């Protein structure tokens, strides 16, 4: 299949508009947008996946109920408060949906709701009510980037994406926004992502496609090993592209899955690279594993290693930490066959062959590891399994940010 990334955001597909405003959900916030709306002119097929943490935001419980029929038409989301572990959480989440529904003229059961921020603090509904009133009548095709800002917490950059692909002879567009900087160890962290498309696809096939695409993208991201209570990835499909509706796992379905997987990877890398305090995006590419499952286990083990993450912060080519992470990954691996290389725009250097160190230039290695994007190449040498995981370095600032996050 062919696809290309284009300029745009969650409003790029046909039928979608959005907005984001500053409503001061967190009283100390006076300038940053913190409430967002995403709307489609027609009811969409919709699906979502959520955190596997047993402690879940009330917003997730409400969204799960609203998406039980496989349809939605709008999203309302706030930052500044996670609406998690609150006695009135479900009531507040339902109220957010009712406010959005009234403003947009849709059924409240067709509204997806999400929240992100501090856990265990009561969500004030008044700022959200004010925010919805500010956005009523002001949604636009240009509002996607404002919505992307509104869902940020400790993120330092907005995360948005748009791409085009061809299905059934028609141009299909996918757009999306995401947030997440810390508390990210996705297993469907705090991670929220909202994706839209104008593809025509049934609810059942959209859910199946979402489950497949998330495995090689969002679920391969780890910043700090903590799985959030609020992780939500929701997708809505308007069908306005005019392609033949995908109702079975045919060739169009396979191409749709391939396309959204690449779209998700684009956002996943942005999430990983903007980890709290991070200075570098780390990509661990594993090849030669006995199975894909083994490759996944190895790549995620490496990307999650605090020692390896710290070494990458210091541009220290400590390949032993890579091998150590491979060894405790739980994968079926012959460690005497493992090769390790480090790679960046400054070049590539071999540091380990057949599970043992080799001579290499420390100066060249440091030059490679000082870059903003580092690839850790691990060849296991046992088969055809491959996988790629995304993470970031571990810096002093991560501790500073999380030492007083609540206060």
CATH number, domain of 163, equals 3.60.70.12
Quick check: 80 pLDDT over 80? Answer: yes
**CA–CA separation, 61 and 54 (whole Å):** 12
**pLDDT band at 227, cuts 50/70/90?**
low
Residue 269's pLDDT is: 86
Q: Are residues 240 and 309 in the same domain?
A: no
pLDDT of residue 88: 96
Residue 190 is predicted with a pLDDT of 45
| pLDDT, tens digit (0-9, with 9 covering 90-100), for 81-109 | 999 999 999 999 999 999 999 999 999 99
Q: How many domains does the chain have?
A: 2
Half-sphere exposure in the Cβ direction for 174 (13 Å, CA) = 30
Residues 41-60 as b/e (b if ≥16 CB within 10 A, e otherwise) read eebbbbbbbbbebeebbbbb
Which domain does 290 fall in, by range?
281-403
317 and 200 in a common domain = no
- Largest Cα separation within the chain, whole Å, is 68
250 shares a domain with 124: yes
Q: pLDDT tens, 312-340?
A: 999 999 999 999 999 999 999 999 999 99
Asked whether residue 188 carries a pLDDT value surpassing 50, the answer given is no
Same domain, 96 and 242: yes
pTM: 0.87
Q: From 273, 289, 310, give the residue that closes a domain.
A: 273
Same domain? For 234 and 285 the reply is no
Q: With bands split at pLDDT 50, 70 and 90, how would you rate the model's confidence at 222?
A: confident
Domain with residue 308: its CATH number is 3.10.20.340
- Same-domain check for residues 294 and 256: no
Q: Is 4 exposed, middle or buried (0-12, 13-18, 19+ CB in 10 A)?
A: exposed
Q: Does residue 144 share a domain with residue 231?
A: yes
Q: Is 190 a catalytic residue?
A: yes
Please tell me whether residues 230 and 353 are part of one structural domain: no
Active-site position among 45, 63, 145, 190 = 190
Domain end residue (candidates: 273, 300, 326): 273
The Cα 356–Cα 368 span in angstroms is 21
Q: Which of 251, 273, 295 is the last residue of a domain?
A: 273
């Amino acid at each position: 299949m062919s696809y290309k990334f284009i300029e745009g955001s969650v409003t790029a597909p046909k039928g979608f508009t959005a907005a984001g405003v500053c409503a001061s959900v967190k009283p100390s916030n006076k300038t940053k947008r913190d409430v967002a709306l995403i709307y489609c002119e027609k009811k969409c097929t919709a699906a979502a996946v959520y955190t596997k943490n047993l402690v879940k935001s009330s917003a997730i419980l409400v969204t799960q109920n609203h998406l039980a029929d496989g349809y939605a038409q709008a999203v309302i989301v706030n930052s500044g408060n996670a609406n998690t572990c609150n006695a009135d959480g479900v009531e507040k989440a339902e109220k957010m949906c009712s406010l959005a529904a009234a403003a947009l003229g849709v059924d409240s059961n067709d509204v997806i709701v999400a929240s992100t921020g501090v856990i265990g603090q009561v969500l004030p509904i008044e700022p959200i009510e004010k925010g919805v009133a500010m956005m009523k009548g002001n949604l636009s095709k240009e509002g996607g980037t404002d919505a992307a800002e509104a869902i940020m917490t400790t993120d330092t950059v907005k995360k948005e994406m748009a791409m085009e692909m061809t299905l059934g002879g028609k141009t299909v567009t996918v757009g999306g926004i995401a947030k997440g900087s810390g508390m990210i160890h996705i297993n469907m962290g705090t991670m929220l992502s909202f994706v839209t498309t104008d593809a025509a696809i049934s609810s059942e096939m959209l859910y199946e496609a979402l489950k497949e695409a998330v495995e090689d993208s969002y679920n391969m991201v780890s910043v700090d090993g903590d799985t959030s209570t609020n992780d939500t990835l929701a997708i809505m499909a308007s069908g306005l592209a005019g392609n033949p509706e995908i109702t079975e796992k045919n060739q169009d379905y396979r191409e749709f899955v391939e396309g959204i997987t690449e779209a998700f990877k684009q956002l996943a890398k942005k999430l990983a690279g903007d980890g709290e305090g991070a200075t570098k995006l780390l990509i661990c590419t594993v090849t030669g594993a006995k199975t894909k499952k083994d490759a996944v286990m190895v790549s995620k083990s490496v990307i999650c290693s605090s020692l390896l993450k710290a070494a990458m912060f210091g541009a220290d080519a400590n390949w032993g930490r890579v091998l150590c992470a491979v060894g405790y990954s739980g994968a079926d691996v012959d460690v005497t066959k493992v090769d390790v290389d480090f790679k960046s725009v400054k070049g590539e250097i071999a540091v380990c062959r057949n599970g043992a160190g080799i001579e290499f230039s420390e100066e060249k290695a440091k030059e490679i590891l000082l870059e903003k994007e580092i690839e850790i190449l691990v060849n296991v040498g046992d088969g055809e399994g491959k996988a790629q995981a995304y993470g970031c370095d571990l810096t002093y600032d991560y501790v500073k940010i999380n030492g007083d996050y609540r206060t």
